[in-house]
Amino acid sequence: MEQNQQFSFADAEYANKGKVTRREKFLAQLEVLLPWSRMRAVIEPHYASGKSRGRKPFALNAMLHVHVAQIVYNYSDPGMEDALYEIESLRRFCGIRLESVPDESTILQFRHLLERHGLSEQIFQTINQTLCERGLFLKAGTIVDASLIAAPTSTKNQSQARDPEMHSSKKGNQWFFGSKFHIGVDSETGLVHTLTVTSGNVSDVAEAANLLHGEERFVHGDAGYQGLDQRPEMQIENPPTCVIAMRPSKLAKLTQEDCEQAQLLRQVAHELASRRAKVEHVFRDIKIRFGYAKNRYRGLAKNAARLTFLTAIANVIRGDAYERRRLIASEI
């Protein structure tokens, strides 16, 4: 522990408990998998860790661990402070003692530091570089998709208005208000190499070109990306082949009859859908595993920074799982 090396009776009692909880196992996994030294190197030039007129700043390593814990457990700034007081495993993960827990304003200031200097995006690129060095970005193809992230529609706030940077979007017969999370995923490993966050009314196909890294030979997308190959931004030298799903209504019309051609179309549609499933696994992790189904802040920039950092962490975990599956397959 960085803040104080003395152990109390409570520390000794906790260390001798008989069960290792799931939270402890997950935090231990993060401690091993995340490239902490590289992440600190990104933040360190912007972090005031020296002497100041106020109280002594918390160590960068401790605040980085606090920020990671806040993101993976989807805590607000006050919620993270409370969790540090209440949960011993979180304090041990962050390397802090009960008598020196950062308050919510300190946690907020660290988050604002990352937002102000675009450090979440730099950390995302840094983590992806470590994954690329391990051969986890094959770059043969990209799967593109987008998911709506809801935002509060309430006007009970200081401005008495909804968030002006969020907009309504219709999906099926239902309207949603919020932002849209666009991702480009490696077609083999399912890791996110590119992401953007826009207002909810931005169409999927309009953002697709921004999700490509430029080296892919093909692009997979659902029916929302119809016409992608005809867009001006895709008129480049050696453009990737666009493999886009047929619209469900058109597919249903063409496969009404139980003939050989209709059966073949259904098989093709099923095969393409199974290949695109990797992108849905990312949204499952973000929205269900990490609980980010609703925007926490007003404005796109703050939410984009949090989503970017969270996606980087999800990439590390998914990359480790992919490597273990590949190792098991090689031993069979």
pLDDT tens per residue, range 22-64: 999 999 999 999 999 999 999 999 997 655 555 678 999 999 9
In this structure, what are the phi and psi dihedrals at residue 218, rounded to the nearest 5 degrees? -150, 160
- Tens-place pLDDT, residues 183-206: 999 999 999 999 999 999 999 999
Quick check: 279 and 183 in contact, CB under 8 A? yes
Residue 331: the pLDDT is 78
Paired tokens of 314 = 């999800």
Give the separation between CA 115 and CA 331, rounded to whole angstroms: 44
Half-sphere exposure (Cβ direction) of 70: Cα atoms closer than 13 Å: 25
As a whole number of angstroms, the longest Cα–Cα distance in the chain is 80
- Where does the pLDDT of residue 1 fall: very low under 50, low under 70, confident under 90, or very high at 90 and above? very low
In this structure, what are the phi and psi dihedrals at residue 134, rounded to the nearest 5 degrees? -90, 5
- Where does the pLDDT of residue 156 fall: very low under 50, low under 70, confident under 90, or very high at 90 and above? confident
Residue 49: the pLDDT is 61
Give the separation between CA 28 and CA 332, rounded to whole angstroms: 29
Quick check: 207 and 224 in contact, CB under 8 A? no
Residue 53: the pLDDT is 56
Q: Quick one: CA torsion of 204, 209, 213, 217, rounded to 10 degrees?
A: 100
pTM over 0.85: yes
- Tens-place pLDDT, residues 57-108: 899 999 999 999 999 999 999 999 999 999 999 999 999 999 899 999 999 9
Residue 26: the pLDDT is 97
Residue 250: the pLDDT is 87
